[in-house]
């Protein structure tokens, strides 16, 4: 059974009715943990959120200790062939396009490595012409001199292409479905290869089949009803964990932030909603990695951290070459605005002050 089969099974249930209390969402023969995830995402659980949050904290400390893995994104290119209405790199947006040369990649890498970070996430827009797999492999060769863990957040690949990158030194994949609701997915992806819902949905599994070490999936909160989207993201993570036990699985819950373009989300997402989503996922999957991005402000990140977060970005920029070129440059359009601009040292100091161990390196490949 594929994850799409599981998605279609639960898509038939009246999730709206369950969350509003007007209907039963699932039959009695469904797994207990699935029922619990739905219950903890329900509005009727909100009065008990404090108790659930305390339990989520206990589960997190028991499984991960008071540690926080740190990484930073490195944008290689903003060329894109997709027309995603929520993204600043949308092919229709009249922004300055750029791709880093290998020398510029090395300059970025040397700067990031000087902060002590040994984990890096490389990103591109979805242009196979400007950022082919061969270019990404060349960049990985440069980055291996500086980092022990290299993850990719790029366009969806074939299984063989994932195999090529894994062989070259990539050990992690981040890929968000963005939105699981198929109708909304179609409405926000107006053109380009990303419009293929199923090819993107199956991408994490294709990488897992080739033995990638870590997979991080997620939804872009604001595109659809957050409760249903987090539910399906949780089911997807559980499917990957159950079928590929040697792969470390994580989830991110980024929220739509200002970007180039005119799209405004129709589905509001509050801080309290994100808290509920995090603690629900933590109780659903005790060993699940949960990443909190710099889309959230510093205060909220710090308050949410003890409730289930295991990984945070630091010193982030969403501009191509943004670590070594001033972010205000007209040559550096950003994918979206960030809200926590603290550098690595500031994040480390904050974590240490709260009794957490900042982890800059926890993996060395063979």
Tens digits of residue pLDDT in 21-30:
766 656 667 7
Q: What number is the average pLDDT over the span 47-51?
A: 95
Question: Selecting from 3.40.50.2300, 3.20.20.70, 3.40.50.11290, 3.10.20.740, what CATH number does the domain 3-359 have?
Answer: 3.20.20.70
Q: What is the pLDDT, as a whole number, of residue 191?
A: 96
Q: Report whether pLDDT(105) > 50.
A: yes
Q: What number is the average pLDDT over the span 301-317?
A: 94
Q: What number is the average pLDDT over the span 157-170?
A: 98
Please name the residue that has the structure tokens 């997402």.
269
Q: What is the pLDDT, as a whole number, of residue 327?
A: 43
Q: What number is the average pLDDT over the span 257-280?
A: 80
Assign 164 a pLDDT band (cuts: 50, 70, 90).
Answer: very high
Q: What is the pLDDT, as a whole number, of residue 58?
A: 98
Q: What is the pLDDT, as a whole number, of residue 338?
A: 75
Q: Report whether pLDDT(129) > 80.
A: yes
CA–CA separation, 351 and 230 (whole Å): 27
Q: What is the pLDDT, as a whole number, of residue 134?
A: 98
Q: What number is the average pLDDT over the span 182-207?
A: 97
Q: What value does the mean pLDDT of the chain take?
A: 91
Q: Report whether pLDDT(262) > 50.
A: yes
Q: What number is the average pLDDT over the span 146-169?
A: 98
Non-local CB neighbours of 324 within 8 Å, separated by 6+ positions: 104, 107, 108, 111
Q: What number is the average pLDDT over the span 280-288?
A: 97
Q: Report whether pLDDT(258) > 70.
A: no
Q: Report whether pLDDT(131) > 90.
A: yes
Q: What is the pLDDT, as a whole number, of residue 328?
A: 45
Which tens digits make up the pLDDT trace of 56-93?
999 999 999 999 999 999 999 999 999 999 988 899 98
Q: Report whether pLDDT(150) > 90.
A: yes
What residue ranges do the domains of the chain occupy? Answer: 3-359
Q: What is the pLDDT, as a whole number, of residue 261?
A: 53
Which tens digits make up the pLDDT trace of 32-47?
889 899 999 999 999 9
Lowest mean pLDDT among 256-260, 297-301, 307-311: 256-260
Q: What is the pLDDT, as a whole number, of residue 195?
A: 97
Q: What number is the average pLDDT over the span 305-326?
A: 87
């Amino acid at each position: 059974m594929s994850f799409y089969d599981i998605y279609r099974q639960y898509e038939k249930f009246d999730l709206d009715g369950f969350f509003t209390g007007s209907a039963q969402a699932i039959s009695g023969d469904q797994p207990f943990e699935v029922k619990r995830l739905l219950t903890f995402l329900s509005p009727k659980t909100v009065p008990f959120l404090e108790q659930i949050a305390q339990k989520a904290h206990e589960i997190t400390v028991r499984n991960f200790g008071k540690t926080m893995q740190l990484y930073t994104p490195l944008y290689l290119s903003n060329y894109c062939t997709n027309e995603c209405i929520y993204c600043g790199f949308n092919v229709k947006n009249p922004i300055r396009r750029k791709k880093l040369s290998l020398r510029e990649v090395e300059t970025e890498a040397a700067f990031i490595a000087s902060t002590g970070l040994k984990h890096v996430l490389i990103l591109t827009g979805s242009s196979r012409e400007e950022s082919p797999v061969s270019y990404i492999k060349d960049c990985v060769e440069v980055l291996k001199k500086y980092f022990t863990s290299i993850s990719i957040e790029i366009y969806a690949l074939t299984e063989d292409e994932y195999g090529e990158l894994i062989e070259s030194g990539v050990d992690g994949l981040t890929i968000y479905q963005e939105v699981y609701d198929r109708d909304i997915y179609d409405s926000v992806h107006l053109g380009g290869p990303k419009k293929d819902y199923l090819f993107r949905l199956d991408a994490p599994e294709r990488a897992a089949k080739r033995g990638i070490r870590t997979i991080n999936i997620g939804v872009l909160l604001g595109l659809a009803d957050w409760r249903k989207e987090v539910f399906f993201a949780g089911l997807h993570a559980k499917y990957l964990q159950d079928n590929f036990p040697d792969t470390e699985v994580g989830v991110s819950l980024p929220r739509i932030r200002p970007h180039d373009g005119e799209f405004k989300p129709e589905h509001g997402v509050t801080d309290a909603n994100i808290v509920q989503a995090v603690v629900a996922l933590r109780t659903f999957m005790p060993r699940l990695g949960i990443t909190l991005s710099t889309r959230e402000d510093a205060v909220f990140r710090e308050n949410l951290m003890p409730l289930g977060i295991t990984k945070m970005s630091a010193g982030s920029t969403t501009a191509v070459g943004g670590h070594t070129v001033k972010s205000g440059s007209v040559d550096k359009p950003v994918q979206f605005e960030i809200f926590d601009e603290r550098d690595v040292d500031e994040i480390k100091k904050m974590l240490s002050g709260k009794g957490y161990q900042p982890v800059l390196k926890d993996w060395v490949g063979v």
